[in-house]
Amino acid sequence: MEDAGFIIGSYVLTFGAIAVYAWRVLVRAHRTTAGLPDDAKPWT
């Protein structure tokens, strides 16, 4: 049933893309904040 494929596929693509992006955001966050002292990070 083509329908199910499209539907599951869409959900996978959607949340997959979000997950990949979120992963990259977090990785980059850790990498850039690694060398910074706390006063440069106003959220801490």
Partner 1 sequence: MASDTGTGTRATRLLGAAALVGVAWLLAFGLGFSPRDRDQAESVRLLYVHVPSAWLAYLAFIVTAVASALYLFRRQHSLGWDRLAGASAEVGVLFMAITLVTGALWGRLTWGVFWEWDARLTTTAFLFVTYVGYLAVRRLGGTHEQRARRSAVLALLAVLEIPLVHWSVRLWRSLHQEATVARPDGDVKMDGLMLFTLFVGIVAFTLIYAWLVIHRQRTLAAEDALDDRGLDAAIASRRADAEAVG
Rule CB under 8 A: which residues touch partner 1? 2-4, 6-11, 13-15, 17-18, 21-22, 25-26, 28-30, 32-36, 40-44
41, 33 Cβ separation under 8 angstroms: yes
38, 44 Cβ separation under 8 angstroms: yes
Which residues are within 8 A (CB) of 33 and not within 5 positions of it... i.e. 6 or more apart?
Answer: 41
